[in-house]
Structure 1
């Protein structure tokens, strides 16, 4: 193979970037022929993690190691037309209702906003993908979802639902949760409650960090909120819908992985919910400077 290095320009750089993405070292969803600094940093990290000389140059030993850890890219991946995983699974009725509302805004869906993944919704998804120059498919992956966000408004919770999420769970609250508006997060009980002046508005199951990634305990103030966050910190693109950041990069957010795997997985420090409707509702109740108590 020809060595690849910073500022190289070659079709093989596309394959390099796809393989680094598959190995969870490069959080891109569009690859290109230019070998830039982001790619160089990913190569350096891969070399360090795999006992190779860390030069940032893709030489034969580095390429062989990368090939051994990844599969061959598809043509769709190389040409940025691949159909990735759903941004949020269609089993989440709250997400499907939001999707239907947005597809209605762009004139492609006229059915009921009911969260059903029915034939009319499938046709609208296919039409949207074709409109933005992607292959026809019934999947809303990130490449499909992001342009839809840019061309539509996010419907309010009240546009989709008649009442707040039902709540039947009980959480033993920390005393700091008795005053004001606060999200009360109990790692031991694996629960999260939204509390206003001591009155619990809802309680839900929550999931926390994998071993070695425990987030901080304490009392915090929300410093940033973003409904469409995609994390790129850990070498892959991880959707974090309705992210509520309360300590650095640590946030409360919806997690598809939690919905799929339950407590078999874990976060990198975040507090996760597995119901999209609940995450959307909670997000709308809060604002920057509101409190989060983690104990």
Structure 2
């Protein structure tokens, strides 16, 4: 396992590193800079070469120092507390997206079914606020403007979409989107993608 990889084994690694107080963010399954740094710290403290990559000896040592993660540890609801839903989110099927708390809550009839950490566009390419509908979906999509992968895209406003971002998974909030709503947990977003239908409401608010 090394920087740039993505797998369920990495999600387990991250959950174990979190048990060991070496990571503070929720597992994403994507091996980015934070995972690399945590692995280096672990290796330095256990007499292993501090490469930042996980070889057989490192994995065995991590397993020996931690317990098998629970499902809740592997896929926590969100690393950020969900904001109080906007009143427009309280009826029907809604992706309720708060810029204040940087969260997306998938809600059905006023109840939160699942929640996600999200990030938004920069000052130059802001994410639009307001009430929208899911116009169309694409499981495998590449931006026609920026030529970057946008898996599990759910478009809601003139090219802006909720989608998975490997950059968000790796860099967190040190980056920004080009206006889309980025999600960093690919597995959870895949499940949401299957639930959301064209015509479902999208509310983006402060």
State TM-score, norm by structure 2: 0.63
Equivalent position of 1:149 in the other structure: none
In the other structure, the counterpart of 1:101 is none
Q: Which has the higher helix share?
A: 1
What is the aligned counterpart of 2:122 among 197, 202, 210?
A: 210
- Structure 2 CA distance for partners of 1:94 and 1:278, relative to 1, 3 Å: farther
- Inter-CA distance 95–269: structure 2 relative to 1 (3 Å threshold): farther
Q: Is the contact between residue 166 and residue 202 of structure 1 (CA under 8 Å) also seen in structure 2?
A: no
State the TM-score, normalized to the length of structure 1. Answer: 0.45
The answer as to 2:84 corresponding to 1:172 is yes
Cα distance, 1:256–1:266 mapped onto 2, change above 3 Å: same
Give the superposed CA RMSD: 2.5
Which one of the candidate residues 142, 152, 166 is aligned to 1:242? 152
- 1:271 alignment partner, one of 139, 160, 181: 181
Quote the residue 1:181 is aligned against: 93
Relative CO higher for 1 or 2, CA cutoff 8 Å, sep ≥ 6? 2
> Unpaired segments of 5 or more residues in structure 1?
1-88, 97-114, 116-161
Which blocks of at least 5 consecutive residues in structure 2 are unaligned?
12-28, 30-70
Contact 1:243 1:252 in 2 (8 A): yes
Q: Which has the larger radius of gyration?
A: 1
Higher share of residues assigned strand:
2
Runs of 4+ more than 2 Å apart: 89-96, 168-171
Q: How many residues align?
A: 142
Contact 1:252 1:271 in 2 (8 A): yes
Cα offset, 1:202, TM superposition: 1.3
